[in-house]
Structure formats: C-alpha cells, structure tokens
Amino acid sequence: MTILYDWFATPKTDADGKTTLHARPCFNGTTDTEALARRIQKHTSLTVGNILSVLSELNAAIGEELGNGRQVHLRGLGYFAPTLSVADEVTADMKPQQRNRLVRFKSVSFRPDKALRASIGTPDLLQTHWEAHSLTHSEEETERLLTEFFEKHRFLTRRDLQFLLGLKKTAACSLLQTLTAEGRLQNLGSTRQPVYVPAPGCFGTAPE
C-alpha cells in the first residue's frame, strides 16, 4: 500500500512571516459505495443488492441517531458524533436566548477505532510526481508575468493562464473572475468561451 502526498504552504501565523510547509495526502481516486459492495460480496454469501440495502439502512439509522444528539460507535470502524458551530461572536454577558439563537449544526466528526488504524498497517509514503496544487505567486509577479504575456499575445484564455502561472483549473478561473471584477481584464468572448484582454492602462497597455 502506498499513500501519495505533496507539500503545501501553512497559513502564516507567526510574526516573522516565515513560510512553513505541511504534508497532505493526494488522493489516488475515490472508491464508491458500489465498488465497496462488490468487494464485500466476494467474501460473503450476500448479494451486491443486499449489501447496498444494508448500507442504505445503516446510513439512515446513523443519521437518525446523530440527529437525536447521540454518538454512534461502529465496532472496528470508529465513532461518529455531531458537531456544532456558532454563527457570530458570543460573550459571557449575553443573555441565554441570544446565545442559543446563534448555535448551528455544523457537521459530523469521526474518530477511528484502533482496529481500523491497524488494518491500514504502515503504508509506504511517496511524494507525488505530478502537480497536485497550484503554484503561489505574489501580486507583483503575477502583474509582471501577465504584462510580459500581453506584450506577445493579444488574447488570454483560461488555459493560457494555467500554463503561465502554474495554476489548477479552479485557481485560474478564480483569478480570472477577480481580475475581471477589478476591471483589469475584459472578456471579449462569451460566458461559455471567454477570451480576455487587458483593460486600458492595465498590464502594460496604454490608458484611454
């Protein structure tokens, strides 16, 4: 067994602004419910349909128990528990009614059993060789790279920006939306097939 990982920048919290890195798994795909059911079926007398039915009922039962404020323990798997969040800042001098109105259901936490951890064993850890996340550029570097790009090219596409800045698709789309909203880029194409040009006075172009 092998777990692929890559290094990601940790948000800066210290005063000196030092950039630290942390390792994060790069998931090698997703195993869905049907695939798990087919795998279980090979080692039992149950049919895939029976297993899917049981899993569906298990999901409903766990949801109901969590919704009633109970922690759920599946032996060998782990503990499921509801978690809460607060919609705004709560202070000690607030009235109980005010505090209570701000409490929200957040999500479900999971704490694995030792048996589940033991079943994983000690997998090999290998840094991925493909790009797992977008590169990070300062605003100044982004400005410089786009200015140099528009010196040689009239138009910019999302793919161009991905290649130029080393971004994943979602990061490139987000940056294009930001630059367009700021009025630094203009979309001369359609919503489905956008083509961007610098606004006057931006990225080395002359102002109007």
Adjacent-strand bridge partners of 21 = 9
**191 or 76, higher pLDDT:** 76
CA dist 139 to 136, 146, 173, 179, 186, Å?
A: 10, 11, 16, 11, 19
The pLDDT assigned to 50 comes to: 96
The pLDDT assigned to 12 comes to: 60
Is 80 exceeded by the pLDDT of residue 16? no
In 3D space, the residue among 61, 36, 73, 72 whose CA is nearest the CA of residue 51 turns out to be: 36
Specify the CATH number of the domain 139-198: 1.10.10.10
Q: Which pLDDT tens digit goes with each residue over 70-123?
A: 999 999 999 999 999 999 999 999 999 999 999 999 999 999 999 999 999 999
Give the pLDDT mean for 149-165: 90
Q: Where are the domains of the chain?
A: 139-198
The pLDDT assigned to 162 comes to: 86
The pLDDT assigned to 139 comes to: 83
Q: Residue 11's pLDDT band (boundaries 50, 70, 90)?
A: low
Is 90 exceeded by the pLDDT of residue 64? yes
Is 60 exceeded by the pLDDT of residue 44? yes
Whole-number Å distance between alpha carbons of 98 and 168: 43
Average pLDDT, the chain: 88
Whole-number Å distance between alpha carbons of 102 and 87: 5
The label of the residue with tokens 């409903």 reads 60
What's the whole-model pTM score? Answer: 0.59
Whole-number Å distance between alpha carbons of 35 and 43: 13
